[in-house]
Structure 1
Amino acid sequence: MCAIAGLYSLSRSPVDPGHVQKMCDLMRHRGPDDHGLQHWGHAVLGHRRLSIIDLSPLGRNPMPNEDETIWITCNGEIYNYRELRDDLTNRGHIFRSRTDTEVIIHLYEEYGPDCVRMLNGMFAFGLLDLRRLSGRSGSRLVLARDRFGVKPLYYTILKGTLAFASEVKAFLAIPDFTPRADAQGLAEHFTFQNTFGARTLFKDVNLLQAGHMLVCDDGTPALHQYWDLRFTPVSGLSVQDWAIGLRERFEVAVQRQLMSDVPLGSYLSGGMDTGSISAIAARTIPRMHTFTCGFDLPAGASELEQFFDEREESHHLARLLRTNHHELTISSADMFPALPRVVWHLDEPRVGISYQVYYTAQMIRQHVAVVLSGVGGDELFAGYPWRYEPVLGMCGKSFDAAYYAQWIRFLTDSEKRSFFSPSLNRELGDFSTFESFSKVLAYADCDDPLHRALYFDFKTFLNGLLLVDDKLSMAHSVEARVPFLDNDLVDYVCRIPADMKLQPGRSKLVLREAMRGLLPDETIDRRKQGFTPPDHTWYKQPDTLAYINEMLLGRRSLERDYFEPGYVRKIIDDHATNRKNNRFLIWSLMCFEWWNRLFVDREMPDFAEAQTCENQVLQNWSTP
Structure 2
Amino acid sequence: MCGICGIYFLDRRPVSTAIVEKMSEQLKLRGPDGEGVWVDGSVGLGHKRLAIVDLTPSGRQPMSNKSGDIVITYNGELYNHPSLRVELEAAGYQYHSRSDTETIIHAYEEWGIKCLDHFNGMFAFALWDKRSSTLFLARDRFGVKPLYYYSDGRKFIFSSEIKAILAVPEVERSVNYHALNEYFTFQNVLTDLTLFDGVKILPAGHYLTVNAFSGQVSRPQMYWDFNFSSPIKIDFDEAVEEVYRLFNQAVARQLMSDVPIASYLSGGMDSGSITAVARKHLGRIMTFTGGFDLSSATGMELGFDERTEAENLSNLLKTEHYEMVLHAGDMEHIMPELIWHLEDLRVGQCYPNYYIARLASKFSKVVLSGAGGDELFAGYPWRYYLGINSDNADEYFRNYYNFWQRLIPDEDKVLLFQDSTYRQIVDHSTFDVFCEVIKQADLSLQTSADRLNASLYFELKTFLHGLLVVEDKVSMSHSLESRVPFLDNDLVDFACSISPIYKLRDIDRVNKHLDENDVAKYHYSDSPTGNGKLVLRKAMARLVPDDVTQRVKQGFSAPDASWFRGESIDYVNRLLNNRHTRIYEYLNHAYVSNKIMEHSTGKSNNRLFIWSLLSFEWWLRKFFD
**More off after superposition, 197-206 vs 255-264:** 197-206
1:171 corresponds to:
165
2:527 corresponds to:
none
Q: Is the 8 A contact 2:10 2:153 kept in 1?
A: no
CA distance in 1 between counterparts of 2:36 and 2:233 reads 54
- 1:16: Cα distance to partner? 2.8
Q: How does 1:187-336 map to 2 (within 5 A)?
A: 187-217=181-211, 218=213, 219-222=215-218, 223-232=220-229, 234=231, 236-299=233-296, 301-336=297-332
Deviation sequence 1:335-368 (CA, Å, 0-9, x none) = 1110011111111221010001111011001111
Deviation sequence 1:494-529 (CA, Å, 0-9, x none) = 111111110135210110111112110110011110
CA distance in 2 between counterparts of 1:109 and 1:237 reads 39
Deviation sequence 1:250-304 (CA, Å, 0-9, x none) = 10000000011111011110111101100000001223101110001123x1231
Q: Is the 8 A contact 1:201 1:348 kept in 2?
A: yes
- 1:235: Cα distance to partner? 5.3
The residue identity in structure 1 corresponding to 2:210 is C
SS in 2 for 1:507: coil
**More off after superposition, 16-25 vs 109-118:** 16-25
1:619 corresponds to:
none
SS in 1 for 2:217: strand
The residue identity in structure 1 corresponding to 2:459 is D
Q: Is the 8 A contact 1:7 1:44 kept in 2?
A: yes
2:174 corresponds to:
180
CA distance in 2 between counterparts of 1:508 and 1:600 reads 44
SS in 2 for 1:506: coil
Matched, 1:457 2:459: yes
Q: Is the 8 A contact 1:558 1:565 kept in 2?
A: no
Deviation sequence 1:219-272 (CA, Å, 0-9, x none) = 211121100111145454221110001100110000000011111011110111
Correspondence for 1:409 among 403, 406, 410: 406
Q: How does 1:422-433 map to 2 (within 5 A)?
A: 422-433=419-430
2:538 corresponds to:
513
Deviation sequence 1:69-111 (CA, Å, 0-9, x none) = 0000000000001111111111110110000010000110011
Q: How does 1:56-205 map to 2 (within 5 A)?
A: 56-132=56-132, 139-158=133-152, 160-205=154-199
Correspondence for 1:419 among 416, 419, 428: 416
- 1:114: Cα distance to partner? 1.4
**More off after superposition, 586-595 vs 157-166:** 157-166
SS in 1 for 2:315: helix
Matched, 1:582 2:606: yes
2:509 corresponds to:
none
CA distance in 1 between counterparts of 2:155 and 2:233 reads 54
The residue identity in structure 2 corresponding to 1:60 is R
2:469 corresponds to:
467
1:547 corresponds to:
571
**More off after superposition, 69-78 vs 218-227:** 218-227
Extract unaligned runs of 5+ from structure 1: 133-138, 602-624
Deviation sequence 1:147-198 (CA, Å, 0-9, x none) = 0000000000145110000000112211111222111111111111000121
Q: Is the 8 A contact 1:266 1:373 kept in 2?
A: yes
Cα distance change on mapping 1:591 and 1:479 into 2, 3 Å: same
CA distance in 2 between counterparts of 1:428 and 1:517 reads 51
Q: Is the 8 A contact 1:298 1:537 kept in 2?
A: no
RMSD: 1.2
Matched, 1:532 2:534: no
- 1:550: Cα distance to partner? 2.2
Deviation sequence 1:22-70 (CA, Å, 0-9, x none) = 1111110000010000001100000000000000000000000001000
Q: How does 1:346-425 map to 2 (within 5 A)?
A: 346-394=342-390, 395-425=392-422
SS in 2 for 1:471: helix
CA distance in 2 between counterparts of 1:518 and 1:559 reads 48
SS in 2 for 1:206: strand
**More off after superposition, 548-557 vs 530-539:** 548-557
Q: Is the 8 A contact 1:371 1:479 kept in 2?
A: yes
Deviating above 4 A after TM superposition, structure 1's stretches of 4 or more consecutive aligned residues are: none
1:487 corresponds to:
489
Q: Is the 8 A contact 2:582 2:621 kept in 1?
A: no
The residue identity in structure 2 corresponding to 1:432 is S
SS in 1 for 2:272: helix
The residue identity in structure 1 corresponding to 2:353 is V
Q: Is the 8 A contact 1:286 1:323 kept in 2?
A: no
Extract unaligned runs of 5+ from structure 2: 445-449, 507-529
CA distance in 2 between counterparts of 1:574 and 1:559 reads 19
Percent of pairs with identical residues:
47
Q: Is the 8 A contact 1:371 1:478 kept in 2?
A: yes
2:16 corresponds to:
16
CA distance in 2 between counterparts of 1:454 and 1:19 reads 43
CA distance in 2 between counterparts of 1:116 and 1:11 reads 29
CA distance in 1 between counterparts of 2:419 and 2:178 reads 15
The residue identity in structure 2 corresponding to 1:68 is G
SS in 1 for 2:621: helix
CA distance in 2 between counterparts of 1:236 and 1:424 reads 51
- 1:560: Cα distance to partner? 4.8
**More off after superposition, 234-243 vs 490-499:** 234-243
1:569 corresponds to:
593
SS in 1 for 2:581: helix
2:510 corresponds to:
none
CA distance in 2 between counterparts of 1:559 and 1:104 reads 44
The residue identity in structure 1 corresponding to 2:70 is I
Q: Is the 8 A contact 1:381 1:511 kept in 2?
A: yes
Q: Is the 8 A contact 1:155 1:208 kept in 2?
A: yes
CA distance in 2 between counterparts of 1:559 and 1:317 reads 44
SS in 2 for 1:555: coil
SS in 1 for 2:585: coil
SS in 2 for 1:46: strand
CA distance in 2 between counterparts of 1:202 and 1:33 reads 30
Q: How many residues align?
A: 593
Q: TM-score, structure 1 length as denominator?
A: 0.93
The residue identity in structure 2 corresponding to 1:275 is G
Cα distance change on mapping 1:202 and 1:144 into 2, 3 Å: same
